[in-house]
A and B are shown apart, each in its own frame.
Chain A
C-alpha cells in the first residue's frame, strides 16, 4: 500500500511539473513579440524573439508631396539616403537618413527638351549617386548623374540574340562598378540583359532552368502537333527582382517554386549561392497547400554576405547569412504597425530595414532589437575572422533564444580553437553540425587515448596474458584427463 502511494506521489509530481511547463510555455506565447520564428534542423517552426520591430511609417502626405501612388521600387545608398520610385506619379523622391525630404526628380533635360518618365518600375542608385531608372512604358533605361543631368539613355537593343518583334520593357535595373548595366525585362526568359557601359547590348546572363511537370510532359507526348502549338510552352521561370553586392555579384529572386528561388550569379551567370544551412534559402519551409510556397519579390544584400528576401505572399522578410542559415524573420500581412498589404521592395539602411508597400503607398521603418543586434554582431565578427568575439556574441544570442541552433555551432568553433574538444563536440551536436562534431570528437578521442595510453595498453596486455594462460591450462588439463582415460 505504502509503495503504491509512493508511486502515486511520483506521478502527481510529474504531472505538476508538466503543468508548470505548460504554464511557462503559455506565458512565452503571450509576451507580444510572438510572430517571430525560425526553422529548426528538423524543419519545424520554433519560436524566436523578434530581431526587428517596426518603429515608424513614412507616407507621401507626411512629406508634404502628396501620397505615393503605386510606388514600385526603392533604393538606399551607403550613406543611408533613401530613393523612392513613385511610379504612379512618375517621379523619384529622395530622402535623407532621417527620412526627411531632400528633393523630387520628375523630369530631366533631354537634348534641350524636358523629358518625363512614364510608369517607371525599377530604380538603382550607384555608389557615386548616379541614378538608373527603368522607364518601362517608354521602353528605355535612363541614366542620370547625381545632379539629375542625363548621362545616357539605353533603349531598344539591337542584337541577333533577340527576336525581331522584341519589345524592350525594363522592370528592374542594377549597375556594377564597371558601369555595366543589368536589366530585368518583361517577357525575357533568357536571364538578365547585360549592357556595356556605352549602352550597347552585350548578352544575357543567368537564365533559370526549365522545370517540366512530368504529367504535362506526358500529355504533350500524346498530343498532335496542332494541339501542342495551342498548349503552354515550357519556359524557364522569370526573375522577380535583383540586387548587386559590393563585389559585383548579382543576387536574384525568381518565382521558381520547386527549385531554388534565390540565386547569386557571378560574372559568367553561374549560381554560386552557398546553401550550407539546414535547408536551402527559400523563405517559408512550412506552408498550407492553398497558399503554396513563398513568392519572393525582392532581395537586398547587406554587409558580411548577409541578405534578406521579401515574401509578397505572407509579407515576411527572411534574412540569411552567407552560408545560407536563416537568421531571423519578421513582418506579415495585416493592418498593424509592422505588417503590410502589398509589400514590393525591401532595403537595408544601416541596420534599419525599410519595406515599401505598393497599395498603401508607405514605407515601414524597422529598427533592430537587442537580439537582432547581438545576432548581427556575431555574424559580422565571424565573417571578419574574429572567432572569440563571435562566440561571445553567439553565446549571448543563444541566451536570448535557446532555439537558435545555428548559434551553438559558432560557440563550438571557438571552443575547438581553444582546444576544449569535449565541450566543442557537445556544442556542435547541439547545433546538429555533423562535420564540426566529427572534427572536435576526433581530437577529443585522440587526446583521451593519449592521456590513458599506459592504462589501455597494460589492460590489453593483461587480457591477452590471461587468455593465453587459460588456454594453456585447459589444454594441459585435457591432456591429463585423456591420459587418465587411456
Chain B
C-alpha cells in the first residue's frame, strides 16, 4: 500500500475516532513499516508536547519550578512509562495467549496517545488566557484526554491480542502490577550496581594510597 503524506496524518485521526476499525487495520491490513514510523512520530510529538507544557503552560495551571525544569528528564518521563507498559504487556500476553507481537503492542500503545497530544497541545496556549475559574475547563479537558487514551489502550489491547473485554481489563490491570515490579527491579539493579562500583572504587583508592 502506497502511503501518501496525507494518509500519514489521516490514519491516526481515523483511528482515534474509529478505534475498532483502526486497530484492525493496524494489525492486519497496513504496512507495518510506515505504521511504525507514524507511531514513533506520535511518541516524539508527545514528548515535545510534554516539554512545552512544562515550560509554557499558563501561570495558573503551571506548578513547575522553572529553575528545576529539565527537558531530558521530561523525555524520560514520557518514553520510559510507554516502554515499561509495552514490555510488561508483552511479557504478560505471551503467557496469556495474546496474539500480538511486540511491534503491534508498541504501535497500538503509541496510537492511543494521540488524544493526549491533540487536546493538550492547544490547551498549553489556551491556558495563557484563562482565569482562575476557567482552569476547571483546562483540567476537564486534560481529564477527558486521559480517559480517551485509556479507552484507546483498551480497544487496542483487545484487538491486537484478540481478547474478550473482561480479559483485556484483567490484562491491563496485571500489566500495571508488572510495571511496578519492573520499576522495583530496575531500582534494585541500579542500587546494586552503584554499590559494586563504589566498592571497586574504594578498593582502587586503597591500593593507590598504600602502594
Contact = CB atoms under 8 A, between A and B. Distances in A.
Contacts of A429: 59
Interface in B101-152: 129, 131-133
9 contacts: A429-B59, A434-B59, A434-B60, A435-B132, A438-B60, A438-B131, A438-B132, A439-B132, A441-B131
A475 to B, nearest CB: 21
Nearest to A433: B59
A434 B59 CA distance: 8
Given A434-B132, A442-B132, 19 more contacts: A42-B65, A42-B67, A429-B59, A434-B59, A434-B60, A435-B132, A437-B59, A437-B60, A437-B132, A438-B60, A438-B131, A438-B132, A438-B133, A439-B131, A439-B132, A441-B131, A442-B131, A445-B129, A445-B131
Interface in B62-79: 65, 67
Interface string B41-65: 0000000000000000001100001
7 A-B pairs with the lowest CB-CB distances in the bound complex, closest first: A438-B132, A442-B131, A438-B131, A42-B65, A429-B59, A434-B60, A441-B131
A434 B132 CA distance: 8
Contacts of A435: 132
Point out which of B67, B132, B133 has the most chain A C-beta atoms below 10 A from its C-beta: B132
B154 to A, nearest CB: 36
A405 to B, nearest CB: 13
Contacts of A439: 131-132
A213 to B, nearest CB: 25
Nearest to A441: B131
Interface residues of B, number: 8
B81 to A, nearest CB: 26
A267 to B, nearest CB: 35
Most buried by B among A42, A441, A445: A441
Contacts, number: 21
A439 B133 CA distance: 10
Interface residues of A, number: 10
Contacts of B59: 429, 434, 437
A72 B54 CA distance: 52
Contacts of B133: 438
Contacts of B131: 438-439, 441-442, 445
Nearest to A434: B60
Nearest to B129: A445
B56 to A, nearest CB: 14
Nearest to A432: B59
A275 to B, nearest CB: 19
Contacts of A437: 59-60, 132
Nearest to A41: B65
Nearest to B62: A434
Contacts of A434: 59-60, 132
A148 B131 CA distance: 62
A445 B133 CA distance: 14
A434 B67 CA distance: 19
Contacts of A42: 65, 67
Interface in A413-458: 429, 434-435, 437-439, 441-442, 445
Nearest to A435: B132
* Listed residue (B59, B65, B67, B129) with the most chain A CB atoms within 10 angstroms of its CB: B59
Q: Choose among A437, A438, A439 the residue with the greatest number of B CB atoms under 10 Å from its CB.
A: A438
Contacts of A442: 131-132
Contacts of B132: 434-435, 437-439, 442
Contacts of B67: 42
A402 to B, nearest CB: 15
A442 B65 CA distance: 24
A445 B132 CA distance: 13
A340 to B, nearest CB: 34
B24 to A, nearest CB: 32
Interface in A41-98: 42
A442 B133 CA distance: 10
A248 B129 CA distance: 46
A434 B127 CA distance: 13
A219 to B, nearest CB: 26
Contacts of B65: 42
Contacts of A445: 129, 131
A185 B133 CA distance: 48
Contacts of A438: 60, 131-133
Interface in A167-205: none
Nearest to B66: A42
A442 B130 CA distance: 8
A441 B59 CA distance: 11
A42 B64 CA distance: 9
B183 to A, nearest CB: 23
A439 B65 CA distance: 22
A437 B62 CA distance: 13
